[in-house]
Amino acid sequence: MRQFRAHRYVLRPVAAVLLVVSLHACTRWDPVPEPKTLATNPHSTVRITLIGEGKNIVVKHPTVVGDSLLWNEPEKGGVKLSQIAWLEARSLDPVANGFFALVGVTFLVVILVRD
């Protein structure tokens, strides 16, 4: 019993850090059907794939102005809407977040019941 109590003070902070990290990582890229919808339904982080290029551009807080998509982060830039092949927005994955929340709550209940 004495060994378990000594490890308990290390175990709780580690479990809390792992839970916070896992919740932050439980996101997914959802396709945005039409880039113009960003004007009415803004997203904080967007991944852009341009026509003819295989690389992705990840930008924060993009806005639609006329026929262009503009952003200021990570650096100021813009691209015409007609050049966008694929647009995806980052969103939380409710299934993964629910799983990690359930694991975290179960872990805490087990720790509290053992004491």
Residue whose structure tokens are 């006329």: 66
- The answer on 86 and 98 residing in a single domain is no
Q: Domain containing 115: what range? A: 1-26+93-115
Place of tokens 């359930």: 102
Specify whether 38 is located in the same domain as 77.
Answer: yes
Residue pLDDT, tens place only, 79-99:
999 999 999 998 888 887 787
Name 56's bridge partners. Answer: 49
Number of compact structural domains in the chain: 2
Q: Are residues 87 and 99 in the same domain?
A: no
Q: What is the pLDDT of residues 8-67, one digit of tens each?
A: 676 777 777 776 766 666 788 899 988 888 888 888 899 999 998 888 999 999 999 989
CATH number, domain of 73, equals 2.30.30
Q: How many residues does the chain have?
A: 115
Token pair listed for 77: 């830039």
Whether 81 and 57 share a structural domain: yes
Whole-number pLDDT of residue 69: 93
Torsion of Cα atoms, 2 then 3 then 9 then 10, to 10° = 170
